[in-house]
Amino acid sequence: MSLSVVQGFTKSLAMTVLSEIGDKTFFAAAILAMRHPRRLVLSGCLAALIVMTIFSAVVGWAAPNLLSRRWTHHITTLLFFGFGLWSLWDGFKEDGEAEELAEVEAKLDADWKTNTSSAKGNSKDDDDLKKHRRPFLMQFFSPIFLKAFSITFFGEWGDKSQLATIGLAADENPVGVVLGGIIGQALCTTAAVLGGKSLASQISEKFVALSGGVLFIVFGLQSLLSTVES
Mean pLDDT of 136-153: 76
Give tens-digit pLDDT for 112-124: 555 555 544 444 4
Q: Are 33 and 220 in contact (CB under 8 A)?
A: no
Using the predicted structure, report yes or no on whether residue 104 has a pLDDT greater than 90: no
Using the predicted structure, report yes or no on whether residue 164 has a pLDDT greater than 60: yes
Q: What is the pTM of this model?
A: 0.71
Give tens-digit pLDDT for 36-85: 888 888 999 999 999 999 999 999 888 777 777 778 778 888 888 888 88
| Structure-model confidence comparison of residues 140 and 160, the more confident one | 160
Amino acid at 123: S
Helix (H, G, I), strand (E, B) or coil at 88: helix
DSSP assigned state of 94: T
Using the predicted structure, report yes or no on whether residue 194 has a pLDDT greater than 80: yes
Q: Are 160 and 86 in contact (CB under 8 A)?
A: yes
CA distances to 36, 118, 124, 195 from 178, in Å:
29, 41, 43, 25
> Measuring CA to CA, which residue among 28, 31, 36 is closest to residue 196?
31
pLDDT of 103: 60
Amino acid at 122: N
| Structure-model confidence comparison of residues 66 and 153, the more confident one | 153
H helices of the chain, in order, are 3-20, 24-35, 38-66, 69-92, 99-118, 124-133, 143-156, 160-171, 174-202, 205-225
Q: Is the dihedral of CA 209, 210, 215, 216 positive or negative?
A: positive
Please list, in sequence order, all residues whose beta carbon lies within 8 angstroms of the beta carbon of residue 129, skipping any fewer than 6 positions away.
none
10 Å CB burial of residue 37 (0-12, 13-18, 19+) is: middle
Q: Are 31 and 197 in contact (CB under 8 A)?
A: yes
> Measuring CA to CA, which residue among 178, 179, 164, 170 is closest to residue 215?
164
pLDDT of 132: 47
Amino acid at 95: D
Using the predicted structure, report yes or no on whether residue 127 has a pLDDT greater than 60: no
